[in-house]
Amino acid sequence: MNVFDNLKAWIRSIASITKEIDTRQAALRIKDNIWFRGSNVWILAFSIVIASVGLNVNSTAVIIGAMLISPLMGPIMGAGLALGTNDIELLKDSLRNLLVMVVISLLVSFLYFVITPLDLVNPTELIARTRPSLYDVLIAFFGGMAGILESSRKEKGTVLSGVAIATALMPPLCTAGYGLANANWGYFIGALFLFLINGVFIILATYIFVEILHFDEVEIADPAIAKRHKRWVTIVTVAVIIPSVWSAFSFIRDNNFEKNVQNFITANKSFSSGYIYDYEISSSKGQKTVAIYVAGEELNQDTMDRLLASAQAHDLKPEQIEFRESTFGSVDTEAPEKLLKGVYERTDAEIGRMNDRLVELQKELAAYKNAEIPYEKVTRELKFKYPELEAVSIGRGATVTTDSLDVSKNIVVVTRSSERISDKKIAEIEDWLKIRLEDSTVVVYNRQ
């Protein structure tokens, strides 16, 4: 029992934060940071422009810089503090300032994307802010916890900078501005929802830690108001989590489907009568399908059955696959560049296979040459040592026992001499050949 108590005391000494926390000073700092006036207005505008440029040119480093500059975290943490301390006036001020910040952010980013001449074909940084999921909920929640804990410490570190980067409040607003400027409502709604997730869960994390750390509460005449606040916090949290969970589920499902398609195509890139040169994934009514572009001879039933069996082995249903053929007789295709790319890829693959086979054959040839017996050289050496030899026959053979039919491979040497050679000399020749040929299976026979 003493060991258990000592362990609890040790864990408590490590995890305890009471000596590092100053809730009164933390509350004052948070309240000071909610106001949006003076230099904060210009800093917000500058950070919005920087973030918009970063999104426009797909620069992660520039986007991170904008997140560090942005003052958006202040009113969001102020709202969490207000909920945790029942400070209605602080809550109103925080939400009012946050709304002004959001409107200005949307306006500045909208103007930037209206006038910018650059329109990327694949704006990956913008696309990344349009599909929020449960993972964004986790990032915002734990980032908010780190933020309020850092704000409550007596000694300040660099945690708030990391929280600003992790929770990424600025890029979704800029992406929403892009959606407005280009009338792309999918981008606009998705990005605003991501910002809502980040804001709500930073507020929730702040609210929870304000309760845990026992910040001083504002006295209110009606306790029912505090209960109503907590009820609304719960309702809003659940309302945001539900679509986030669904989005995360959809993201995982779509990612798995695309991975299965890629694995299927890798396994069947080239087959006897043709090859796959491209694919296109689409979605209709929540059902994912893939169009697979095939070039070569017309698919026969056996090939089709084999491809569909391979697809099922990669967790793809037959109704999810559509084969679109470009036969050798019809060179005119909708995407000739993709067809040519497929031809080059198939050619490269075949060349690669031929090179691999060539290397294998070269190794086999080298092994064969190494195993080859130097017949003429060995015969000259034997004639020099044993002048009575007239001819030497050397070959690889096998000895098979007549009873058990056991087979043992060996080198058989048959010598022919003008006079009879003694058994001792034959044994001597055999021993010399074993050393010369580096093979202990040498057997020597002599005939006159």
Chain mean pLDDT for the chain: 77
Predicted pLDDT of residue 342: 53
pLDDT single digits (tens) 12-70: 767 666 677 778 888 888 888 888 777 878 888 888 888 888 888 888 888 888 888 87
Position with higher pLDDT, 18 vs 177: 177
The radius of gyration of the chain's CA atoms, rounded to the nearest angstrom, is 40
Name the band, by pLDDT with cuts 50, 70 and 90, for residue 223.
low
Predicted pLDDT of residue 350: 63
Q: Domains plus CATH for the chain? A: 2-219 (1.20.1080), 261-350 (3.30.70), 375-447 (3.30.300.30)
Q: CB of 22 within 8 A of CB of 53?
A: no
Three-class SS state of 69: helix
- Average pLDDT in the 347-376 region? 70
Q: CB of 342 within 8 A of CB of 278?
A: yes
Predicted pLDDT of residue 444: 83
Predicted pLDDT of residue 334: 46
- Average pLDDT in the 219-229 region? 66
Name the band, by pLDDT with cuts 50, 70 and 90, for residue 328.
very low
Lowest mean pLDDT among 109-118, 179-188, 291-300: 291-300
Residue 333 has pLDDT above 50, yes or no: no
Q: CB of 97 within 8 A of CB of 105?
A: no
Residue 330 has pLDDT above 60, yes or no: no
Highest mean pLDDT: which range of 42-46, 58-62, 105-109, 290-294: 105-109
Name the band, by pLDDT with cuts 50, 70 and 90, for residue 107.
very high
Q: Which residue has the tokens 């026959």?
A: 393
Name the band, by pLDDT with cuts 50, 70 and 90, for residue 219.
low
Lowest mean pLDDT among 175-184, 193-202, 327-336: 327-336
Q: Which residue has the tokens 């209605």?
A: 88
Distance CA 211, CA 225 (A): 16
Beta bridge partners of 414: 393, 445
Residue 341 has pLDDT above 70, yes or no: no
Beta bridge partners of 447: 416
Position with higher pLDDT, 315 vs 243: 315
Q: Helix 23-32 to helix 73-85 angle, to the nearest 10 degrees? A: 130
Predicted pLDDT of residue 332: 44
pTM for this entry: 0.59
For residue 72, the 8-state DSSP code is T
- Average pLDDT in the 85-92 region? 82
Position with higher pLDDT, 38 vs 368: 38
Predicted pLDDT of residue 448: 67
Residue 1 has pLDDT above 60, yes or no: no
